[in-house]
């Protein structure tokens, strides 16, 4: 067992008369350095678990006191990070959390995991990066490594974050070290935890790169060094744009094949039998999560600075953004044909609010747009989601906050005219759903995967 952080003698590098990069690198490699993680959400908390689990002492920072209180009590607020894991790290003295940003000076590395959303005009919103950097700057000390993990466009770390930090009077590459390493979290994926995923690292100069590699090399299975901050920033955008474009293609093919009475799901299953030259991507009700619906627009915005129009990326975005409306149109048509009634006054059940299977994360979930479109047409909408018992406050859909999931019983389901499967959580009794509800709109092909064959099921 690693020694408690309280028992590890540590000399802050600010006390050194000369900046000793070798000593800082050594502190990372022998895990005696203390690491600060700013932003304890879906990216930050799993990173805290991985770093503390590797033997480091970690101080977590968040503006939400409830999160800090829960972690200090040995509890968790995310399913993907168990309370047992947090309690174990607390007992070992390797984890504490705070809202007091004056304590930034206590750590040897500061890793930022803050949101990078879009504005209503679908332009990058860097306000969280800017405000966090401005908070850190007056507390920054010589000899610290500062790493940004938030997804953003190439140039953000150097052109936006770096100058804010340098308001402290310290200079990147001379007094502190600046790096970028994109987060690659995949919530709900049991095969790949934070420590299992290779870490791409770029630095503002060779010393920053060397130090960031030393830190992450003790935490993750493999590090991948790249030549600059901008390359590292471009890597994450490329990964998510690749997914967005291919999902857009799958959604467009679904529309085309549907007109030809061809099942897109059967086509994909057969196509993926080819052992080379093809990778399966699946259609759905729209994109969700903090990455794929947002990240491509960071690049399209930056590309305009160079008079480049990213037509391919923007077309995929248009197709994916239009999918919730198509689902509602398909549901409206099916309800009219099967039950001879319109959406107005219909009781509709949304199955699943989370943006993907088996997570509680509702950020950018297409289910919210589907609900609003249905209600604008006069439907009465309820939802069921075992992972999301109550709709949280969201920036885009504040009017939905506070609604609670229905109970999962045959009697509760039977009162609905139609159910729309938006998220295909495992552990759901889909047989019961089809038996109890007269019409089921399946956007995920989950009924077919469960071997359910019924005229009540309509794929959308």
Same domain, 26 and 111: yes
238 inside domain: no
Show the tokens assigned to 375.
Answer: 């209600």
Which pLDDT tens digit goes with each residue over 240-250?
A: 999 999 999 99
232 inside domain: no
Residue 293 makes CB contacts below 8 A (sequence gap 6+) with 244, 286, 287, 320, 321, 364
Q: Provide, for the chain, the percentages of residues in helix, strand and coil under a 3-state DSSP scheme, each rounded to the nearest 5.
A: 45, 15, 45
Same domain, 27 and 172: yes
Q: What are phi and psi of 407, to 5 degrees?
A: -70, 150
233 inside domain: no
pLDDT the model gives residue 119? 85
392 inside domain: yes
Same domain, 194 and 299: no
pLDDT the model gives residue 11? 41
Catalytic residues: 291
318 inside domain: yes
Which pLDDT tens digit goes with each residue over 22-69?
A: 999 999 999 999 999 999 999 999 999 999 999 999 999 999 999 999
Same domain, 352 and 217: no
For residue 337, the domain's CATH number is 3.40.50.720
Our count of domains for the chain comes to 2
What is the rounded distance in angstroms from the CA atom of residue 403 to the CA atom of residue 349? 13
Same domain, 407 and 431: yes
Same domain, 261 and 219: no
Of 93, 450, 422, 427, give the one whose Cα is nearest residue 440: 422
368 inside domain: yes
Same domain, 171 and 302: no
What is the rounded distance in angstroms from the CA atom of residue 440 to the CA atom of residue 430? 10
234 inside domain: no
Same domain, 13 and 141: yes
165 inside domain: yes
Q: In what order do the strands lie in the sheet with 177-180?
A: 95-98, 57-61, 34-38, 109-112, 145-148, 177-180, 199-203, 223-225
pLDDT the model gives residue 288? 84
Domain boundary among 174, 203, 227: 227
Residue-by-residue DSSP string for 54-112? TT-EEEEE-S-HHHHHHHHTT--S-TTS-HHHHHHHHHTT-EEEES-GGGGGG-SEEEE
Same domain, 209 and 254: no
pLDDT the model gives residue 191? 87
Domain boundary among 227, 261, 287: 227
pLDDT the model gives residue 18? 53
Low-confidence ranges of the chain (pLDDT < 70): 1-18
Q: What are phi and psi of 452, to 5 degrees?
A: -90, 115
C-beta of residue 405 within 8 angstroms of C-beta of residue 394: no
Same domain, 158 and 192: yes
Same domain, 94 and 173: yes
Domain boundary among 166, 199, 227: 227
Same domain, 402 and 280: yes
Please give the residue range of the domain that contains residue 450. Answer: 243-459
pLDDT the model gives residue 189? 82
Number of CB atoms found within 10 A of residue 3's CB: 14
């Amino acid at each position: 067992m690693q020694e408690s952080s309280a028992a590890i003698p540590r000399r802050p590098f600010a006390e050194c008369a000369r900046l000793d990069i070798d000593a800082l690198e050594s502190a990372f490699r022998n895990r005696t350095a203390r690491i600060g993680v700013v932003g304890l959400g879906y990216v930050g908390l799993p990173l805290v678990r991985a770093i503390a689990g590797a033997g480091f002492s970690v101080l977590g920072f968040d503006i939400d006191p409830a999160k800090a209180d829960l972690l200090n009590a040995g509890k968790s607020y995310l399913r993907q990070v168990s309370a047992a894991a947090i309690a174990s790290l607390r007992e070992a003295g390797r984890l504490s959390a705070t809202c007091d940003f004056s304590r930034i000076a206590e750590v040897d590395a500061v890793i930022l995991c803050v949101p990078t959303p879009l504005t209503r005009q679908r332009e990058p919103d860097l306000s969280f990066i800017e405000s966090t950097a401005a908070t850190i700057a007056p507390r920054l000390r010589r000899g610290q490594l500062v790493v940004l993990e938030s997804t953003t466009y190439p140039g953000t770390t150097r052109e936006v974050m770096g100058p804010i930090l340098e308001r402290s009077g310290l200079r990147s590459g001379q007094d502190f070290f600046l790096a970028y390493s994109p987060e690659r979290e995949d919530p709900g994926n049991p095969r790949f935890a934070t420590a299992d995923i290779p870490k791409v690292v770029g630095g503002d100069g060779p010393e920053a790169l060397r130090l960031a590699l030393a830190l992450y090399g003790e935490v993750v299975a493999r590090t991948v060094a790249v030549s600059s901050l901008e390359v590292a920033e471009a890597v994450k955008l490329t990964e998510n744009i690749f997914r967005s474009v291919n999902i857009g293609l799958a959604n467009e093919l679904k529309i085309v094949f549907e007109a030809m009475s061809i099942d897109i799901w059967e086509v994909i299953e057969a196509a993926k039998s080819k052992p080379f030259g093809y990778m399966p991507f699946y259609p759905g009700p729209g994109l969700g999560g903090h990455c794929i619906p947002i990240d491509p627009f960071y690049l399209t915005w930056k590309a305009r600075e160079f008079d480049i129009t990213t037509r391919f990326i923007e077309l995929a975005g248009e197709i994916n953004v239009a999918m919730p409306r198509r689902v509602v149109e398909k549901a409206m048509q099916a309800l009219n044909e099967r039950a001879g009634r319109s959406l107005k006054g219909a009781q509709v059940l949304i199955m699943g609010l989370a943006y993907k299977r088996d997570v509680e994360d509702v950020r950018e979930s297409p289910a919210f747009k589907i609900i609003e479109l249905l209600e604008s047409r006069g439907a009465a909408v309820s939802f069921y989601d075992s992972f999301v018992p109550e709709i949280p406050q969201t920036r885009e859909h504040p009017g939905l906050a506070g609604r609670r999931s229905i109970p999962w019983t045959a009697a509760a389901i039977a009162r609905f005219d139609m159910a729309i499967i938006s998220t295909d959580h495992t552990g759901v009794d889909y047989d019961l759903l089809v038996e109890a509800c007269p019409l089921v709109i399946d956007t995920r092909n989950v009924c077919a995967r469960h071997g359910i064959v019924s005229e009540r099921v309509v794929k959308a």
